Amino acid sequence: MRLRVNGQEVEAQEGTLLLEITDPPHLCYHPHTETRGICRLCLVEVDGRLLPACTTQAQEGMEVRTDTQELQTLRRTLLEWLALTTDLGQAPSLLALLKAHHGQPQRWGKLPLNRREREPIRDNPFFLRDYAKCVNCRLCVDACGDGIMGVYALALEGRGLMAHPTTPLDRPLPETPCVFCGNCLQVCPTGALRPLSAEV
């Protein structure tokens, strides 16, 4: 099967995700969970429409563009907004992307509604939940639930910008079904969940 990526002819297998044959930045996609299509950083233009490369399968004759002016602007803006609202201090790959995209978060001005002021939650001996650094990608919720563990110790709280993961009934983790397997830490891309052993 053949398609065109940025004008170049590409050979691909039926069912291949565009993410596997193109190289847009991506954050919420993880091969072991069902989470995808959320961060929108991997959007590409397919036959004139914006589609997430992490959920779109390659098809015969597709015209894919991964680096248009519009997509550049979109990614730059999204990264700036993340940096504006969230502490990316433990997310070196996101900071590198921001730099590569010439991001200037300050050009948007101040945002009173902010994730940065959240206090880290230390309710167990193994890891922290530091939601000031959380971008709400839900990878942890999925890893704990449907995606990997089937344990369901994590839930979602709220709507809009301040939505973030929590525990059932907002209980401390040890009072939930959590088995401290560490899968949620493994998938967290921002260091919002991190082992206490890494804290100095």
Partner 1 sequence: MEKPSLLPLLDARLPLDEEKVAEAARLAGIPLAQAWGVVRYYPRYRGLPQGRLLVDDPVARARGFPRLLEKADGTHPPLGLEALSPIHVRVEGEKRFVEWEGRLVPFREFRLPFALGHGNRLLPSEPIQELAQYEALGGLVFLRRALENLLAPGAILEAVEEAGLLGRGGAAFPAHIKMRAVARGEAPRYLVVNADESEPGNFKDRFLLEHHPFLVLEGTLLAALATGATRVFLYVRDEFEAAILGLEKAIQQLEEARLLPVPTEVFRSGGLYICGEETALLESLEGKRAEPRLKPPFPVEKGLWGRPTLVQNVETLANLPLILKEGPGSWRQKEPKLFSISGDVAHPGLYELPLGTPLGEAVERAGGDPKGLKAVLLGGAAGVFTRDFALPLRYKGRIPLGAGAIVAFAKEVDLWEVLLGLAEFFREESCGKCFPCPLGTAVQVEMVRRRERDRDLVGHLGQALKGSLCGLGQSAYWAYQSLLEVEDAA
Q: Closest distance between ligand FES and the C-beta of residue 43, in Å?
A: 7
SS (H, E, C) 62-90: CEEECCCHHHHHHHHHHHHHHHHHCCCCC
| Gap between the Cα atoms of 8 and 103, Å rounded | 29
Nearer Cβ to partner 1, position 105 or 200? 105
Cβ count near 165 (within 10 Å): 22
Tokens found for residue 192: 């919002």
Q: Binding partner of residue 109 among partner 1, ligand FES, ligand SF4, none, CB under 5 to 8 Å per kind?
A: partner 1
Q: Which of 12, 22, 29, 85 touches ligand FES (CB under 6 A)?
A: 29
Q: Which of 10, 95, 121, 161 touches partner 1 (CB under 8 A)?
A: 161
Binding footprint of ligand SF4, residue count (CB under 6 A) = 26
Q: Which of 182, 196, 198, 199 touches ligand SF4 (CB under 6 A)?
A: 182
The verdict on 50 binding partner 1 (CB under 8 A) reads: yes
The verdict on 54 binding ligand SF4 (CB under 6 A) reads: no
**Angle in degrees, CA 74, 78, 83, rounded to 5:** 150
